[in-house]
Structure 1
Amino acid sequence: MNDHSKASELATSLFDAYEQGAVAPLRDKVDATDIALAYNIQQENHQRWSEQGRVTIGRKIGLTSTAVQAQLGVDQPDYGMVYADTCYCSGAQISVGQFLQPKVEAEIAFVLKSDLDADNLTIIDVMNAVDYAVAALEIVDSRVANWDISLFDTIADNASYGGIVMGTTPVPLSQLDLESCKMQLSNDTEVVSEGEGRACLGNPLLATLWLANRMIENGQPLKAGDVVLSGALGPMVAVKSGDKFTATIDGLNSVSVSFVE
């Protein structure tokens, strides 16, 4: 079986998993070091969704924590697509039933005011391109059973993306200390995850620079209006019905979400 038909077969198994339930890890069926193949699988499903009318509004960056990278034996982040139908406003009530194995993590989201498509991008280009930041929650989900994932599995599975909950108070970069800002994620009154800006590749803007360069290489550069979910600032936490999560990040207003059946 050639790479294209293998990618197509594995893409279909992930595509169907959204409705039919989680599947066994993909890495056992391929050369798991073939990261290009994993992105081809992701892209194939992205194309299917786009053809069905799904609208892309940005990207998520995963594996920005060096601890998680070490756990999966990788030395760089990954990315996935963010879709309009998975974007929620802070305070939303969301049904857990629409996900398979949801978890939540707190992040900083950037919204761009200009394209990031120039040659030799620098951190200056990224700072100039960001319109504002908000606190955000990413709902991560895996179509691979029991979260038994490798780098190959998560990339193929749209970087384990589930949804994004956006805070609603835009803050310019000039008002933020993106390295030292502290994050606290609570479920009701219990603190369940903590971290800081530098947990995300040293600075969430560095993660965004990595993403911008990667998307240029792939011919899908970041555009004005795109949202960039820059990466978790602390450990992810499993979700169940009845949970109410609130994240606070220094300099940014809080963002919250409730989960129901």
Structure 2
Amino acid sequence: MNKTTIKEMASQVFDAYQGSAISPIRTLVDNPQVEDAYAVQHENHVRWTEAGRRTIGRKIGLTSVAIQTQLGVDQPDYGMVYADTCYCSGEEISASQFLQPRIEAEVAFVLKQDLTAPDITIIDVINAVDYAVAAMEIVDSRIANWDISLFDTIADNASYGGIVMGTTPVPLSQLDLEGCAMQMTNGDEVVSTGVGRACLGNPLHATLWLAKTMIKNNQPLKAGDVVLSGALGPMVPVKAGDTFTATIDGLNGVSVRFTE
């Protein structure tokens, strides 16, 4: 794919943030490839960075085997997390700033060391994690009606909207990240449940995949970065008036209310 096409697709996605949802961009190319989708994502990342937007970490998507099967892929994807999309547990957020928001509960890790070692292992990841918190990802798509393929979601920054962070850090030594149960409610109604192993077997496994991928792409994870490790249960639609609370075994809860 030539650079002009990548820039054109990036512009369509970029403009959708300030306008309305667009048609699937996979239809603009004859043979859409994953590397081209990441090139589109990177083009907008450069635009945002040059405009002063600060990167604070990464999100991992497609950590569910069921969703991977649905999209015909055998690995996760990633997107960038920006400071202006990071919210504190208990905040109120306007739903209108998103196009088609959904929400899911995850474990977020914050790093205390760079992850740059060659042949990186799970030991390096464990040693690099400073703490974990409960988190919720606001998932959003600039593609109309969520009509996405792998190409569309990667190009659209892995369908990222925002992150709601819990405020009680917990060391890994106090957590069972494989067996931890998750429950998310909207008001009094349970809307999503899951378990740590739903995230590639363990959220740390997903983080190892990300660390390897970012080293390969010359964008390694750094001390202070947040890693949103992937959903523990199904995502659910968001509308104004909703109040979501997620609890994950071993981690304090995290909550958010969406306003008009």
Question: TM exceeds 0.5?
Answer: yes
DSSP 3-state at the match of 2:17: helix
Q: Whole-Å Cα distance in 2 between the matches of residues 212 and 40 of structure 1?
A: 19
Question: Partner of 1:61 in structure 2?
Answer: 60
Question: Partner of 2:168 in structure 1?
Answer: 169
Question: Partner of 2:246 in structure 1?
Answer: 247
Q: What does 1:175-190 align with in structure 2 at a 5 Å threshold?
A: 175-190=174-189
Q: What does 1:88-99 align with in structure 2 at a 5 Å threshold?
A: 88-99=87-98
Deviation of the 1:238 alpha carbon? 0.2
Question: Partner of 1:258 in structure 2?
Answer: 257
Coordinate RMSD, CA, aligned: 0.7
DSSP 3-state at the match of 2:145: helix
Question: Partner of 1:193 in structure 2?
Answer: 192
Q: Whole-Å Cα distance in 1 between the matches of residues 37 and 206 of structure 2?
A: 20
Q: Deviations over 1:171-218 (max 9, x none)?
A: 000000000000000000100000000000000000000000000011
Match for 2:127: what amino acid? N
Question: Partner of 1:139 in structure 2?
Answer: 138
Q: Deviations over 1:91-119 (max 9, x none)?
A: 01000010000000000000000000010
Question: Partner of 1:154 in structure 2?
Answer: 153
Match for 1:159: what amino acid? A
Match for 2:239: what amino acid? K
Are 2:22 and 1:23 equivalent residues in the alignment? yes
Deviation of the 1:29 alpha carbon? 1.3
Where do 4+ consecutive residues of structure 1 move more than 4 Å?
none
Q: Deviations over 1:21-49 (max 9, x none)?
A: 11000111124541000000000000000
Question: Partner of 2:110 in structure 1?
Answer: 111
Q: Whole-Å Cα distance in 2 between the matches of residues 27 and 54 of structure 1?
A: 27
Question: Partner of 1:102 in structure 2?
Answer: 101
Q: Whole-Å Cα distance in 2 between the matches of residues 68 and 198 of structure 1?
A: 15
TM-score (norm 2): 0.99
Q: Whole-Å Cα distance in 2 between the matches of residues 256 and 112 of structure 1?
A: 23
Checking the alignment, whether the CA contact within 8 Å between 1:32 and 1:152 is kept in structure 2 is no
Deviation of the 1:3 alpha carbon? 1.8
Question: Partner of 1:5 in structure 2?
Answer: 4
Q: Whole-Å Cα distance in 1 between the matches of residues 193 and 3 of structure 2?
A: 42
Structure 1: segments with no counterpart, 5+ residues: none
Q: 1:171 to 1:90 in 2, by over 3 A?
A: same
Q: Whole-Å Cα distance in 2 between the matches of residues 119 and 98 of structure 1?
A: 40
Structure 2: segments with no counterpart, 5+ residues: none
Q: Whole-Å Cα distance in 2 between the matches of residues 127 and 86 of structure 1?
A: 26
Question: Partner of 2:74 in structure 1?
Answer: 75
DSSP 3-state at the match of 2:252: strand
Q: Whole-Å Cα distance in 1 between the matches of residues 246 and 31 of structure 2?
A: 35
Deviation of the 1:157 alpha carbon? 0.1
Q: Whole-Å Cα distance in 2 between the matches of residues 114 and 141 of structure 1?
A: 30
Checking the alignment, whether the CA contact within 8 Å between 1:112 and 1:132 is kept in structure 2 is yes
Deviation of the 1:5 alpha carbon? 0.6
Question: Partner of 1:234 in structure 2?
Answer: 233
Question: Partner of 2:217 in structure 1?
Answer: 218
Q: Whole-Å Cα distance in 1 between the matches of residues 30 and 183 of structure 2?
A: 39
DSSP 3-state at the match of 2:120: coil
